[in-house]
């Protein structure tokens, strides 16, 4: 069985999967009712496959993980945060192209 490339992040596993990660991590803060979130979802999945061994990619549903979303000041979705060494290095609000996201990720790997 193929392993899931996009991690499902929660308030409970965020520290272990993101903060303590040795790899850079792209976190997509989203909600199922958000249409722009649905637009960026395929891009997130493609990035996860293409950067499988270089970057971790996770999605955090803001309705199911309100504490983490609040802690990082997520006011609009989709918001992407790029973490490296447990710290936020980049914040991207709204839908962006795959190429733009890939170029931002490249500076952290």
**Catalytically annotated residues:** 34, 37
Which residues, in sequence order, are CB contacts of 60 under 8 Å at separation 6+? 9, 10, 14, 27, 28, 29, 30, 68, 69
| Omega before 71 within 30 of 0, i.e. cis | no
């Amino acid at each position: 069985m193929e392993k899931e490339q996009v991690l499902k992040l929660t308030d409970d596993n965020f520290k272990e999967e993101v903060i303590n990660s040795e790899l850079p991590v792209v976190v997509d803060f989203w909600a199922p009712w958000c249409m722009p979130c649905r637009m960026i979802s395929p891009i997130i999945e493609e990035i996860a496959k293409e950067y499988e061994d270089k970057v971790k990619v996770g999605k955090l549903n803001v309705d199911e993980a309100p504490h983490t979303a609040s802690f990082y000041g997520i006011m609009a979705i989709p918001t992407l945060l790029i973490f490296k060494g447990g710290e936020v290095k980049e914040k991207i609000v709204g839908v962006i192209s795959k190429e733009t996201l890939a170029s931002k990720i490249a500076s952290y790997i």
